[in-house]
A and B are shown apart, each in its own frame.
With several copies, the nearest count.
Chain A
């Protein structure tokens, strides 16, 4: 089966032939791939080179934590790729975005207000949890369309805090 794995714009063509062999960018490699202790830790022997990484499928890409470095890898099979390429339009930056609490905590400040335009990376809310003040930032630019919490509020995990359009 053929896959395209992409990291920061660089693509690797990876063909999983059968158990024990893959083709990576045309290079034939012997592979022994094992999960360790039934956990998302994987030990890989690739042409006898030994690698170990935490690998977990995130929402959009696969996270690989390897030798102290995090790689976000987008993996698609050929069919998915063709599909995406033919339907590629500017879907990003559209619709409403709801900021939810990544953990329970207390709202310290809400430095934005309804109607305000914000840039990507701007602080939307400061949430105190685990004795730390955590800045929740805008994942994209947009306009604040709703603020559902006020400083001092106790919030639960995943509670909606603020919306952005």
Chain B
């Protein structure tokens, strides 16, 4: 049984895994790139090894080097976090071949779910509804796809078989666009994943993205931990998640949860995973994909179930039985997560880099902040822009929203721009408050533009503050001028003094 875990990741998720290890009494080994020497995960681990230059391909994607370090350090297991090597079946395989434990599913399950077209086929065969689209995992040519498209119907989506993160994806509104967009999608998929295969899926309008957290042990037990509502996205990047979903009821939850477990069983799944569904306006749901790893937004499920998912992951990897049975689980209250990214919501969400000069995190009842940064740490352009996850819990959705609002207002991060104002605006939007939104809400119905109201009292306050700061800066500049005048005269004095000394 392993007692030392190598954490093959960085940022908040590496810190999250290290915390879970510590609380289990396990030693931790961190790996880091040249720009991450002073990262929280390096500081908090028991050992740390340099991987290489900043670019991920030279550091956090160097599976070979990571396995070598694990062996050298005597780590018995590797936790991949999310991203980087988390869903690479070849890496999971290599870890096992090196005699180490991969804290995650078997390589075969990662592979089965990694090819999105193959996963559709597997899941459909197990009797799970999938979004209407091209069937099976055969490789289809452009002509095949163009021929199949009318059966699926428009609008539809071209998706990369090896896809993820929205890359190699194109929406097609009318048949004429299809040939051109197929080629564009293939090019992008080839560039991103080294695999140009694509498939077609019907485009669901007014759909919600709802996912189920599942956990399965190596003794044949699989349970689900309820759903997460992840419809609030921008360019296929989730921004705000909540658990439970405002549209869920017990019946639908039980039905979808059971199917999620069946999806997991279909690929002999072990450890934590997430089954994603699209749910349309008539509450029909369709399997979208399965993420065979820990999810960024896992904390909201932790808040409403009381289960430490990362600890359970490690326990399962150690061969233990699940600590919980499905009937023991009870959802308690409501949790919301806001992803705090280093990006400028007022400038097209452009990433922002630089040294963080101040962090004053919110706290108090029901507030959790998962982060890997601190005042003095530098955000570099090499990795994703997530700097912190702000999670708020309340007895009801209303309480959780109010608490999140006050937490966002309290949060101070200086040195880089953040999307906190985006979240503040989102949480104030009537549609969000009413729970009425779908996956297109942020992009199509939401704007950071202010409708400026003439007798807006806050505008006057802003004007006063801007003026006071300008006034101060002018005064200080004047002082500096005076200062340098004095300096000059000092120098003159020195000159005179020196002349006297001759």
Contact = CB atoms under 8 A, between A and B. Distances in A.
Whether A and B touch directly in their complex, counting CB atoms under 8 A apart, is answered as: yes
Nearest to B408: A68
A39 B376 contact: yes
Nearest to A63: B466
B51 to A, nearest CB: 12
Contact of A42 (B49, B374, B409, B469): B469
Nearest to B351: A130
B-side interface size class: 35 or more
B414 interface: yes
Interface string B373-385: 0111100011111
Contacts of B377: 37
B458 A69 contact: yes
A44 interface: yes
Interface residues of A, number: 64
A102 interface: yes
Interface string A151-165: 000000100000000
Interface string B222-251: 000000000000010100000000000000
A68 B237 CA distance: 22
A106 B462 CA distance: 38
Interface in B339-393: 342-343, 346, 348-353, 357-358, 374-377, 381-385
A33 to B, nearest CB: 5
B375 A7 contact: no
Contact of A104 (B357, B381, B465, B471): B381
B466 A129 contact: no
Interface string B48-72: 1100000000000000000000000
Contacts of A67: 409, 424, 458
B461 A130 contact: no
A55 interface: yes
B339 to A, nearest CB: 13
Interface in B1-44: 30, 37-38, 42-44
A1 B43 contact: no
A41 B460 contact: no
B381 A68 contact: no
Contacts of A10: 452, 454, 459
Interface in A116-165: 129-135, 137, 157
Interface of A: 1, 3, 5-8, 10, 12, 14, 16, 22, 24-25, 29, 31-34, 36-46, 48-55, 57, 61-62, 64-71, 73, 75, 77, 102-105, 129-135, 137, 157
Interface of B: 30, 37-38, 42-49, 73, 165, 235, 237, 342-343, 346, 348-353, 357-358, 374-377, 381-385, 408-409, 412, 414, 420-421, 424-425, 428, 450, 452, 454, 458-471, 473-474
Given A36-B43, A68-B425, 8 more contacts: A33-B465, A37-B358, A45-B48, A48-B48, A48-B73, A51-B461, A68-B409, A134-B350
